[in-house]
Structure 1
Amino acid sequence: LNPGPATTTDSVKQALMVPDICPREQEFGDLTQSVLKKVVQVVNGNLTHSAVIFAGSGTAGVEAALSSVVAQDGKILILDNGAYGKRAETIIQAYGIPHRTYRIGWGEYPDVAEIESIFQQDRELTHFAFVHHETTTGMLNPLPELLELCQKYEVDSIVDAMSSYAGLPIDLQELPIDYLISSSNKCIQGMAGTSFVIANNEKLAKTAKFPARNLYLNLWGNHSYIEKTGQFQFTPPVQIVYALNAALDEFFVETQAGRTARYFKAYETLLDGIDKVGLELLLPKSQHSKLLTAIVEPQSPNYDFMEMHDYFYENDITIYPGKGAKQDTFRIANIGAIDYRDMLLFNEKLLQYFEDRKISNS
């Protein structure tokens, strides 16, 4: 029940078992082209966007976008209300790219009016980078409102949708995202090893004129190479791409509506169990992503997270510690190849654990 790498189906696991193939063969090139189209299709972006894929974790995709799309005279605004907004800032700082950070507590909801005032005051800003689903806290940042600001002040949007892509409906014909970033191992339910940037074609083409800040992660360099040759520019994780292809096919069979409904039912089931035990939620429900929930740790001398973690692990359940939020938490994700029945089992074990160890939250 961690937020990625998420659990996968047996058929996705089996897709890893393919004959050895040289990735420069036409067969693998055809697979790569098909995967890229499907990746964009998930968010209805085929008319306006293209996917650039990398061998690497989700952070590779984030670094590729941040280091590639800001011109030498550009300046980027970063929203930091969690670990992944902070990571974006760290990447920008490593490259020495001019930036400004809107920093609030990890678990605090962005004030759109405050962000607008930054755009009004700082006319040098050309880009705005923020996380859609901040898994530090399970918060869903206000994507439509933030995109409206980008359009109003004519800045390009860079959206880290690592843990919302394929889990929540995103339609690029309705939401004007310039660069959307995700990976193969979250809500798309593939294996870890690839990340991708889904880029607006017109905005991406403009970056061709920018001096490259790196080689391996340069967005235009990788995109232009794969457009010309049909292949990854550098050695791809072959088996991971086959598994991603299988995961994408399973997504389209289930449909976005079906996957979101399955995740949401698991979330509602989880909340029933949390309520029964008497635990508190970090965030108001209106801010929940419904994909991951941060639960405030009980103030009881009998509670110890690592002991609880090991208890669940012995029962074939993985739970996740907190990550620097405004209160001490543990986190439960409901993404991947699971459903409400898995949450019923978690609830049962949670109640049993709290009763056996006489843990109360009073």
Structure 2
Amino acid sequence: MTAVEPLSGIPLPAPAGGEPYLLTPGPLTTARSTKEAMLVDWGSWDGEFRALTAELRRRLVEIAGGGDAYDCVPLQGSGSYAVEAMLGSFVPRDGKVLVLMNGAYGQRITRTLGYLGRAHVTLDKGDYLPPRGHEVGAMLDADPAITHVVVVHCETSSGILNPIEEIAAATAARGRKLLIDSMSAFGAAPLDAATLGYEAMVSSANKCIEGVPGFGFVVARKDSLAAAKGNSHSLSLDLHDQWAVMNKTGQWRFTPPTHAVAAFLEALRLHALEGGQPGRLARYTRNRDTVVAGMRALGFETLLGDRLMSPIIVTFFAPADPAFRFDRFYALMKDQGFIIYPGKLTVVDSFRIGCIGQLDEHVMRRVVAAADQALAAMGVATAAPPSSALDERKLQAA
């Protein structure tokens, strides 16, 4: 692969060693310098590593706009570990949660709450539509027992960017607490803690900050962290205890992902160099616009209209042509240097193309060209989806 053109002063080389670009919602393609940061071994108890942890926490609160009212608690494991930790630590055992669902990750939150034994109700919008503030307000008015609202910021099973501002306003107006799964959006989509007033937000190292897998993190109100003592169902996932120990000793309670932390500090440096959240959002938006325009020109249809489509990942309907098989399409795309993502819709066949990671619009043009070549190799005459998929989209949107 040849290097792509620099963007905004940030060089975006092709992945090292000819490895493919990851067009997924994370793990994603990382910068060479981020990979190189993992070449040093760290002692988890050492003062230099504790300084890395402190810097990580400070910078994430800064990106979140949390000021003195918020703190950051990193936690070993995947993003789902951090989501479960957030739910188990901040929702008391006698609490009740309203889960806003429009895809697989809202469904996973509901399943997690079931494991935790926390009472919950759902607002299920299907695959195509976002929950709206007035709907949240109506459900909260009808059920005073609800203590918390949980929403996925970007539902990557469809690519919807949910309207966090109106959901936060409806929740705050009724004195309830808001928990946000911003796993695939934090660092690119705006999520200002001081404006939204959420109780806690969770994300992961290997998403829009463009680090590597190994830990998630929660940005939460300090008073809520203090009040969370005794809520958790789990020693390992107890955010209050992790927070208290980190503040006392500077250390993680259990073995930290030292190399992932070092890589994340480099990823944070690159994030700031690109212009922080606004700069990253601008690049991801160009990526989305480029791939959507190109794929539509090939005949593909997007699940969502332009108004609801996030700059994180785009869902495309699978073509109706009987010559199209996703596993073959995937292999042909990989052969040309691009790993795409299978669909996760509940009703129709689809696939997804991520817009995040060390990619720019020049790479996305190559993605479109690779898709064109893959269709030709498969003998697909048209990329148009089945009429049933379009009918389902109209039905859901009605």
TM-score normalised according to structure 1 size: 0.96
Answering whether residue 145 of structure 2 is matched by residue 133 of structure 1, we say no
2:38 matched residue in structure 1: 16
How far the C-alpha of 1:268 sits from its partner, in A, is 1.0
Q: 1:72-111, aligned counterparts within 5 Å?
A: 72-111=93-132
Q: Which of residues 345, 369, 375 in structure 2 aligns to 1:348? A: 369
| Matching residue's letter, 1:130 | V
Q: 1:123-272, aligned counterparts within 5 Å?
A: 123-208=144-229, 210-255=230-275, 256-272=277-293
> Per the alignment, in what secondary structure is the counterpart of residue 52 of structure 1?
strand
| Matching residue's letter, 2:264 | L
How far the C-alpha of 1:199 sits from its partner, in A, is 0.3
Answering whether residue 143 of structure 2 is matched by residue 122 of structure 1, we say yes
How far the C-alpha of 1:22 sits from its partner, in A, is 1.9
How far the C-alpha of 1:46 sits from its partner, in A, is 3.1
How far the C-alpha of 1:55 sits from its partner, in A, is 0.8
CA distance in 2, matches of 1:324, 1:225: 41
2:331 matched residue in structure 1: 310
| Matching residue's letter, 1:36 | R
| Matching residue's letter, 2:128 | G
TM-score normalised according to structure 2 size: 0.88
CA distance in 2, matches of 1:117, 1:175: 19
> Per the alignment, in what secondary structure is the counterpart of residue 42 of structure 1?
helix
1:32 matched residue in structure 2: 53
Q: Contact 1:107/1:326 (CA < 8 Å) preserved in 2?
A: no
**Unaligned ranges ≥5, structure 2:** 1-22, 385-398
> Per the alignment, in what secondary structure is the counterpart of residue 195 of structure 2?
coil
Q: Contact 2:169/2:196 (CA < 8 Å) preserved in 1?
A: no
Q: Contact 2:93/2:117 (CA < 8 Å) preserved in 1?
A: no
Q: How many residues align?
A: 360
CA distance in 2, matches of 1:233, 1:269: 44
1:5 matched residue in structure 2: 27
> Deviations along 1:107-137, whole A, 9 cap, x unmatched?
2332433322211111001101110000000
CA distance in 1, matches of 2:237, 2:257: 15
Sequence identity (%): 34
CA distance in 1, matches of 2:93, 2:189: 34
CA distance in 2, matches of 1:71, 1:258: 38
2:133 matched residue in structure 1: 112
Q: Contact 1:107/1:325 (CA < 8 Å) preserved in 2?
A: no
How far the C-alpha of 1:354 sits from its partner, in A, is 2.3
> Per the alignment, in what secondary structure is the counterpart of residue 193 of structure 2?
coil
| Matching residue's letter, 1:243 | A
Q: Contact 2:71/2:219 (CA < 8 Å) preserved in 1?
A: yes
CA distance in 2, matches of 1:60, 1:241: 17
Q: Contact 1:282/1:327 (CA < 8 Å) preserved in 2?
A: no
**Unaligned ranges ≥5, structure 1:** none
| Matching residue's letter, 1:354 | L
Give the 3 Å change call, closer, same or farther, for CA 103–74 of structure 1 in structure 2: same
Q: Which of residues 58, 82, 87 in structure 2 aligns to 1:66? A: 87
1:50 matched residue in structure 2: 71
> Per the alignment, in what secondary structure is the counterpart of residue 236 of structure 1?
coil
